[in-house]
Amino acid sequence: MGLQWKGVFPALTTNLTKTEQLDIEGFKNNVTAQVEAGVDGIVLGGSLGEASVLTLEEKETLVRTAVELVDGKVPVIINIAESATSEAVKLAKLALDWGAEGLMLLPPMRYKADDRETVHFFKTVANATSLPIMLYNNPVDYKIEITLEMFEELAECNNIQAVKESTRDVTNVTRMINRFGDRYKILCGVDTIAVEELLLGADGWVAGLVCAFPKETVAIYRLVKAGRIQEAVAIYRWFMPLLELDIHPKLVQYIKLAGARAGVGSEYVRAPRLTIAGAERDRVLKIIDTALANRPELPDYLSIELDKPKSKVAVPSF
């Protein structure tokens, strides 16, 4: 069947020790918690995974460890965020050897490529691998937007199959569907607009706070897709103060702190990042601890059947 670009895909944090080494046991614990919660795949080495400070050897270790641990239960995707096209191609080829089942691909890093250069970059990587690819469209943080016209050019690459939609413009979901139908699977990449984009037709959610709260994240997704909107929205409203941690420049530190507080990770980061301190730490801890103290009771979301055809569900007003 191959990789299905739908469901919840954690943009997994990279567990580190106090001395900034890989914490493999902590990493395994988090991966296990995600799989048990019902996620549909995991993304390694993304922005939240501190891609910019991981070595090639560390990326290999993470992929091989995850592939062995999940044992086929969910696909393992590795992020590619390189400055040179040749390095992106190299990593794409290595990813297949390591056992990854898919790639998340960012535009060129550091240099702000124009549309022609960006399309050439994507096509070159896609043509160098058989792995399915999800493009990461995040002009807010990475200053390059993948436009509809660029997606039109990229449609000839059959293994470019999906987009992590992080423009923060929910109408982009409708534009993509209007233009391309189901040619590209659409996964929301911004936690604070996930329900909105899922209701508009997004196929999945590449999530951040799932690293700390996997069950709640998967429950929201499955409830929305089952048409149980009011139940999903009730959890989403509880979740929102936490989800807003995902749209801050220090999302790595904040989400790692949430994971540590929730018992599914550690807060250690790799310099130049530093763990947060002082009034900033107190403010974030208040958000996390308030949410933990009021954690909602979840329905049996794993028993929800999503593959059966359903009648169209009207979205209720609130």
What's the maximum distance between 2 C-alpha atoms anywhere in the chain?
A: 54
pLDDT in tens, the chain (318 residues): 479 999 999 999 999 999 999 999 999 999 999 999 999 999 999 999 999 999 999 999 999 999 999 999 999 999 999 999 999 999 999 999 999 999 999 999 989 999 999 999 999 999 999 999 999 999 998 999 999 999 999 999 999 999 999 999 999 999 999 999 999 999 999 999 999 999 999 999 999 999 999 999 999 999 999 999 999 999 999 999 999 999 999 999 999 999 999 999 999 999 999 999 999 999 999 999 999 999 999 999 999 988 754 434 444 444
Question: Measured between alpha carbons, how far is 89 from 77 in angstroms, rounded to an integer?
Answer: 15
Rg of the Cα atoms in the chain = 19
How many whole angstroms separate alpha carbon 255 and alpha carbon 187? 20
SS3 135: strand
- Class for the domain spanning 7-303: alpha beta
**How long, in residues, is the chain?**
318
The pair of structure tokens assigned to 3 is: 């990789």
Cα–Cα distances (Å) from 82 to 9, 66, 191, in that order, read: 21, 22, 24
Q: In what order do the strands lie in the sheet with 76-80?
A: 7-10, 204-207, 185-188, 160-165, 133-137, 102-105, 76-80, 42-44
Residues paired with residue 210 on neighbouring β-strands, in sequence order: none
Tell me the pTM.
0.94
Residue 122, SS3?
Answer: helix
Q: Which candidate, 194, 231, 235, 229, places its Cα nearest to that of 313?
A: 229
